[in-house]
Amino acid sequence: MVALESPMPGRIIRINVKVGDSVNENDVIAVMEAMKMEMDLLAPASGIIKELNMSENQAITKSGVVLAVIE
């Protein structure tokens, strides 16, 4: 089990996966916007998306928030 954590506070503008999808390490799982920049949130490991704790347009207020869990 590996968690994708928010790197910094920001807004989720796009989610490319759903629970049950299989991903490879470094796939772009979602895109966050912070400080006027879009940043790709990459899969920290290969596996299946077990949990997804974010939705499009959601504001993430802290860094270190678990956004997805890959198993």
Partner 1 sequence: MTGMNKIFEEYEKRRKKIVEMGGSKAVEKQKSRGKMTARERIEYFFDSDTFMERWPFMKHRTTAFSLDKRDIPAEGVVTGYGKVDGRYIAVAAEDYTSLAGTFGEGHGKKFSWALDFAKENRMPFVGMNDSGGARLQEGMDTLEAYGWCFRSQILASGIIPQIALLMGPCLGGQAYHPIMQDFLIQCKNTGFMGIAGPAFVKTQVGEEISLEELSGYRAHAVKSGQTHVVVENDEEALDRARELLSFFPSNNGQKPPRIKTEDNPERVVLDLESLVPVDPHKAYDMHEIIAKIIDDGYFFETLGLYARNIITGFARFNGRPAGIVANQPSWLAGCIDIDAADKAARFIRFCDLFNIPLISLQDCPGYRIGSEADWNGMLRHGAKLLYAWADATVPLISILMRKSYAGAHYGMLDKSIGADFVFAWPNARVTIVGASTAASVIFAKEIRDAQNPEEIKAKRVKEYEELYENPYRGAERGYIDDIILPRETRKYINRALDLLADKEVTRPWRKYSNINL
Residues lying near partner 1 in the complex (CB under 8 A) are found at 7-9, 33-40, 62-63
- Hey, what are 61's tokens? 């207020």
Nearer to partner 1, 7 or 44 (CB): 7
Cα 45 to Cα 12: distance, rounded to the nearest angstrom: 20
Nearer to partner 1, 40 or 71 (CB): 40
Amino acid at 38: E
Q: How far is the CB of 47 from partner 1 (least distance, A)?
A: 21
Nearer to partner 1, 52 or 60 (CB): 60
Amino acid at 24: N
**Cβ atoms within 10 A of the Cβ of 70, count?**
23
